[in-house]
Amino acid sequence: MLLLRPVTRSRSFAQRVLGRSIHNLKLRDAPVDIHPEVEEALAHNKPVVSLETALVTNGLPYPQSLEVPLSQEQIVRSTGAIPATIGLVGGRVKIGLEKHELERLADPSGKPVKISRRDIAAAIATGRDGVTTLIFSALAGIKVFATGGMGGVHKGGENSFDISADLQEIARCPVALVSSGVKSILDIKRTLEYLETLGVPVIPYNETRDFPAFFSPESGFKVPWSTSDPAIAAKILDTHLRLGLNNGIMFPVPIPEKYRGAGQTIQNYIDQAVQESEQNGMASSGSDVTPWLLNRVRELDGGLSLESNIALLENNALVGGQIAVHYQRLQGSSSSTTYQPSVSQTAGKSSSIFQDVTSTPTASQSVAKPQPAKVVVVGCAAIDVISTGKTDVNPALALHSTIPGKVALSLGGVARNIAEAATRVSSSAYPGLSPLLVAPVGKDFFGHILAEQTARLGMRNDGFVTVEDRTAVCNMVLDGQGGLIGGVADMDITNEFSFDAILPQLQAHTPEYVCFDGNLKADTLKQLVNYCHQHKIKSLFEPTSVYKTSRILPSIAARINEETTEAPISHFTPNLLELQEVFEQVKSEEYDLMARDWWWKFIDNLSLGTSFRMDLDQLARRPVDDEEPSKGKLGFLTEQGVAQMAVNLLPFFQHIWVKCGAQGVLVFMHIPPEKAALTGFASQRTNMVKRCIVAHGMKKDIVVVKHFPALKVDTVENVTGAGDSFVGTLVAGIASDNKRVYDLEGLDSLVNTAQQAAALTLQSHEAVSPLLSDLKRS
């Protein structure tokens, strides 16, 4: 039996606060339900933005009251942050609403109540539905809250004392409130004075220090500070919280430029509505006055204010997401407490030991189940030790002695690099994937470094599996010019990584895509491929090197028979040498897979005749790059048999993505008859301008061949991780929407985005460029 003892690591400031917040709610058995995606994001220090639901009943009419909150969530996701729309459903506080719960609150026939601090206990005790503002964001430990307009001092408030509870709330809750200022029906001057009395920082999101007036970018009042940079706003928030200042910060955001022209017109209608409320007595009706005024303004302006209101709500969600992402980056490590064995494990058994939690668990406290991973990457995670001699030292001296130089430690391993790339782009270009790296680590010093540094990069490390072996380490000695003098690669741990150690992670996450590298032994690969087929999981094989490419062939041989209707491997990502190697091995006496009747039948069904060969010849005459004729032509496509090899491998690999270095990327894919009619290629034909061949077989099969020129890179700093960055970004893109592969425009987007990721890494000193976190879909 494996006993675990908690080993507390250095945690980020934000994560310590978040951990206490969630832990305290659970410890008190509070009637609060935190959505699994939100809880996983908080546990792993991912950016989260809370969104209000008060707009559902008071701010917008139906159906906009449902459409806009859903739109806000998507906008927050587009920034790389996780949205957490907050409301009360059936007497339970929901930190993160499901769509059906939001529909329930927005239903015009329902009667959710607007809840402030005074109403919470009574509304929960009576099982009510309700809409809330920022208080529960603070209770959950979410530090950025996006809304429309905040409450304030009502006009005439100096006599009526009608002052919104929002002002006291922001004075109590350490949260960044991103809004469009205060509602335009209020007394802005007295509201600012009241906020100053409460000590609440008001920092407009502009360069002019003008406090916005909701529908207008200027109210006529200025404040001492402002910024239009989300990074500066995040730093202000971080500093404020680190100082222990327990009130909130207000970041009022001006309405987008397009809608500013209508501001004065809308303000005239607001003034009229306020005057009417004073005449008919509604102004003294307490909480009913705000919804009455908003409805009356919409009646007067014919919907003009509604359009502007939606625009500012969506813009505030965007700004809130950007601030949250920058705030998260200031927090450092995403790991909090890890576990390691306190006694030896039973020989042959393994267990995941690096599991992130938000606080040290006790006997009465359970650890939240991590978010299921849509993409699982299996293979090698390693520590790279690079020793580089000084340029003025004779490298021959290193053979029998030490030489002066520098030693650098970094994370490496093909699967790890792929997982990092997928993780980074899932916070930008392809949100919502939560990629998981499943790799073996030893119970040694390097294992602890690997787990901790992986978490510091914002990656999940709950897929690491500890085994009785040494953590993978590659130690290289380079001369002053970067040439390899020698080194030692200790990779036995990955080669011996068994399928039995991987299986629990696959069962826990039920991924849609499993990507594995060629560092795994053939038997493990065979069982992985078999599992993927049994559970209808798409597979991607990254061969890693020419030497390891053929390790996948026993898996393929075991899967094909006369009843096989699809390729054993969904995606294959070789370079040109690896493509040639696997082609030669498939034909070899050891495997001889092309001699099988099944293979001949498959190839015959493709019906690739004279027209296809003519198209290939025409494509081969195209320049590698239209803008750089000096790179030559694509003659290697036919002269070196690249196209022939790839097409002959399509029965084994449905999609082949060939990394050709400076010559770009070649894509070969087979679309079977049962799927062909559902794809964009069903109606498309060969297009040489787009370097794309589309061949339609007699039995409705489709074969696609497409070339993508390489992107221009001015300075190359590192070549080791570019291919892995390409693969990680590619699998993330496919997993986010696999239909993209089967449409010319979608295919262009997938490959161009992956090429951008590779180009960024080529220009970085890191194995995977950190700039992938900001990469946008092409």
Residue carrying the six token digits 């949250």: 324
Concerning whether 183 is annotated as a catalytic residue, the answer is yes
How far is C-alpha 200 from the geometric centre of its chain's CA atoms? 33
Question: How many CB atoms are located within 10 Å of the residue 684 CB?
Answer: 16
CA 481/CA 393 separation, integer angstroms: 11
CA 133/CA 86 separation, integer angstroms: 8
Cα end-to-end distance, the chain, whole Å = 50
Catalytic residue among 37, 39, 52, 101: 52
CA 387/CA 482 separation, integer angstroms: 10
Q: Do residues 577 and 546 lie in contact, with contact meaning Cβ atoms separated by under 8 Å?
A: yes
Helix axes 744-762, 414-425, angle to 10 degrees: 120
Strand (E) or helix (H) holding 190: helix 188-198
Strand (E) or helix (H) holding 726: helix 722-736
Where are the alpha helices (H) located in 63-119, listed in sequence order? Answer: 64-78, 99-106
CA 33/CA 14 separation, integer angstroms: 21
CA 494/CA 126 separation, integer angstroms: 57
Plot region of 708 (φ>0 → left; ψ -120 to 50 → alpha; else → beta) = beta
Q: Which long-range contacts (CB under 8 A, 24 or more apart) does 208-214 make?
A: 210/254, 211/181, 211/252, 212/180, 212/181, 212/252, 212/253, 212/254, 212/255, 213/181, 213/184, 213/188, 213/263, 213/267, 214/149, 214/180, 214/181, 214/182, 214/183, 214/184, 214/255, 214/312
φ, ψ of residue 167 to 5 degrees: the values are -70, -45
Question: Is beta strand 653-659 parallel, antiparallel or unpaired with respect to 665-671?
Answer: antiparallel
Catalytic residue among 94, 143, 155, 183: 183
Residue from 514, 466, 461, 528 nearest 493 by CA: 466
Question: Is beta strand 538-542 parallel, antiparallel or unpaired with respect to 513-517?
Answer: parallel
How far is C-alpha 32 from the geometric centre of its chain's CA atoms? 26
Question: Which residues, in sequence order, are CB contacts of 709 under 8 Å at separation 6+?
Answer: 624, 625, 626, 664, 691
Sign of CA dihedral 225, 231, 235, 238: positive
Quickly count helices (H) and strands (E) in the chain.
Answer: 28, 26
Q: Do residues 188 and 151 lie in contact, with contact meaning Cβ atoms separated by under 8 Å?
A: no
Q: Do residues 73 and 51 lie in contact, with contact meaning Cβ atoms separated by under 8 Å?
A: yes
- Percentages (nearest 5) of helix, strand, coil residues in the chain: 45, 20, 35
Burial of 115 (0-12, 13-18, 19+ CB in 10 A): buried
Which amino acid, 67? Answer: E
Residue carrying the six token digits 């139906």: 62
For residue 625, give the DSSP letter: -
Alpha carbon separation from 291 to 115, 295, 504, 527 (Å, rounded): 14, 6, 53, 62
Letter string b/e over residues 378-412, b meaning 16 or more CB atoms within 10 A of that residue's CB:
bbbbbbbbbbbbeeeeebeebeeeebebeeeebbb
Concerning whether 52 is annotated as a catalytic residue, the answer is yes
φ, ψ of residue 51 to 5 degrees: the values are -125, 140
Which amino acid, 145? Answer: F
Q: Do residues 667 and 743 lie in contact, with contact meaning Cβ atoms separated by under 8 Å?
A: no
Point out the residues that are catalytic.
52, 183
